[in-house]
Structure 1
Amino acid sequence: MNLPNKLTVSRLILTVFFLAALFIEFRFHFTVALVLFVAASLTDLFDGIIARRHNLITDFGKLMDPLADKVLICSAFIAFIELEWMLAWMVILIVARELAITGLRLLAASKNLVLSAERQGKNKTISQITAIIALLVTHSHGEWGVVGQLFAFEIAGHAWAWWVAEISKWVAVALTALSGFLYLWKNREVYLNDC
């Protein structure tokens, strides 16, 4: 197994530890969850860079890299429902979009078609990761002592970090819906021909 594929597998393993840190209460558990999520997100960045730069692209990587991304991001958002950090409908929309696009790609693959990623999809992923990190910072900065005070400065009755998290999650939901609609519309021939 080459290095990019090891990084992809490590992202799946880090997802398990990230979820454990969210739900098993111990000192600094939200901070640990934040660090694990950032580390897992960085494996996504580096596995792609290394694979392209050193010509280490494999069929395993093509399949597992996007799957590991979806597992990490959807797991975080689903956990946020339980923690009451996000509304259920927001997460349902995000997960439904991911399932719909994955289903479309599988349908296309069954017809020997390859659907490439779109710029809107990359922006969606960045917005989702930003929202997750912002929510984790909002709920962990109280564990950081004096440094955490920097995130607690209030604007209109809430810490500014809370406002960043709120705006980030709404942007993520909007970009998720928009990118999903545009991708499904652009590739409608793939599924309309089967109706």
Structure 2
Amino acid sequence: MNIANMLTMLRIAIVPLFVLALFAADGHDTGWRIGATVLFAVAAITDRFDGQLARKYGLVTDFGKLADPIADKALVGAALIGLSMLGDLAWWITIVICAREIGITLLRLVVVRRGVIPAGRGGKLKTLVQTLAIGVLLLPLSGGFETAGMALMYLALVLTVATGLDYVGQAVRVWLAGPGRAKES
């Protein structure tokens, strides 16, 4: 157990607290929504730091490789599902984003024996825009702020689909290259 893994564990522990805050007082109480947003922000920020710490100080572990993406998907999935349950986000958006995340995770498991596809800039941008969109939509805002949040969410949706398709293409190339060859290139 190192600091990077402890931050990942903290992020996992924040998810149920975030959900409780999001749904408190019927999900639309200003104070609870701000609290849920703060918890979401803390978890999102720790995601940034745990990866940097792990790489910079050689703290990368098998546990971290497994737990970090689980923590990410649990947080984003809980936020999207919660917002949809509260009527603040269309279900189709939640379904598309969650289906992409689950599908790519399963694809990674299939392809990993033939090679690893590193996270690219597009995936990092997708995560950033998803996080910003969710953060804005969690806040008890209306008018132009709500519109801006939805615009960010639509951008996140486009990036989610585009990077998902790109990842599928990369996975096909790795698979066709055969075991071991993709790791050499």
TM score, norm. by length of structure 1: 0.84
Task: Tell me whether 1:119 sits opposite 2:121 in the alignment.
Answer: yes
Number of residues of Structure 1 aligned to a counterpart in Structure 2: 175
Q: Structure 1: how far apart are the matches of 2:166 and 2:57? A: 33
- Describe the superposition over 1:144-184 as per-residue Cα deviations: whole angstroms up to 9, x where unpaired: xxxxxxxxxxxxxx622112111011111111111101111
Letter in 2 for 1:114: V
2:78 aligned to 75, 88, 92, which one?
75
TM score, norm. by length of structure 2: 0.88
**Residues 80 and 27 from structure 1, CA distance in 2 versus in 1: closer, same or farther, beyond 3 angstroms?**
closer
Task: Tell me whether 1:18 sits opposite 2:18 in the alignment.
Answer: yes
Aligned to 1:174: 158
**Residues 27 and 161 from structure 1, CA distance in 2 versus in 1: closer, same or farther, beyond 3 angstroms?**
closer
Q: Which structure 1 segments of 5+ residues have no match?
A: 142-157
Aligned to 1:90: 93
1:98, distance to aligned residue in structure 2 (A): 0.4
Q: Structure 1: how far apart are the matches of 2:176 and 2:91? A: 30
1:33 aligned to 18, 33, 36, which one?
36
- Structural RMSD (CA): 1.9
Q: Structure 2: how far apart are the matches of 1:58 and 1:186? A: 25
1:190, distance to aligned residue in structure 2 (A): 5.2
Q: Structure 2: how far apart are the matches of 1:57 and 1:40? A: 19
Q: Structure 2: how far apart are the matches of 1:5 and 1:89? A: 33
1:133 aligned to 125, 132, 135, which one?
135
Q: Is the 8 A contact 1:11 1:40 kept in 2?
A: yes
Identity, in percent, stands at 39
Letter in 1 for 2:19: L
Q: Structure 2: how far apart are the matches of 1:190 and 1:79? A: 36
SS of match in other structure, 2:101: helix
Q: Which structure 2 segments of 5+ residues have no match?
A: 178-185
Letter in 2 for 1:174: V
Q: Structure 1: how far apart are the matches of 2:130 and 2:103? A: 17
Aligned to 1:152: none
